[in-house]
Amino acid sequence: MSESIRNRLARPIRRSVRIPCQVIRERDFALVARHVFDLSEDGMFVRSDGPRKCVLTGEPMIVTFRAPFSQRWIDAEAFVARVVHGRRPSDSWHGLALAFEHIEIGARRLLHRELEWYAPAAEIART
């Protein structure tokens, strides 16, 4: 089995969650998103605050959110892996796929444990 296939099989499952967050663009400290819609140990999909915020793939972000079922706040550094512009008929809003670069190992373990309570994101339609 090739390494790329092994990596895809080992990738954590994205879970459908609806929690508040703060996603801050590192270069100018602008708030670009406030709502998480999909979350895993490796990243998240957030609803952006609209097209007026120009966000580019690869841009570094600072992310803060409270872990589900917990009082613990998680801070992470992430980068924009994908930008959803809302052009497709299936896109109901603008959003950003963020990949975590730096997140504490304890926070990653907490997410792994708490996210098991949520359904996989693919099973729930985005509304």
| Domain span including residue 78 | 3-123
Residue 91 has pLDDT above 60, yes or no: no
User: Domain count of the chain?
Assistant: 1
Domain containing residue 21: CATH number:
2.40.10.220
How far apart CA 43 and CA 103 sit, in angstroms, is 10
Q: What is the pLDDT of residues 16-73, one digit of tens each?
A: 788 899 999 999 999 999 999 888 888 999 988 765 568 889 999 999 998 887 888 9
Pick the residue with more confidence: 120 or 125?
A: 120
Q: Rounded to two decimals, what is the model's pTM?
A: 0.77
Contact partners, residue 101, CB within 8 Å, separation at least 6:
60, 76, 77, 78, 79
Q: Are 13 and 40 contacting, i.e. CB atoms less than 8 angstroms apart?
A: yes
28: left (phi over 0), alpha (psi -120 to 50) or beta: alpha
Pick the residue with more confidence: 87 or 3?
A: 87
Tokens of 85: 């512009």
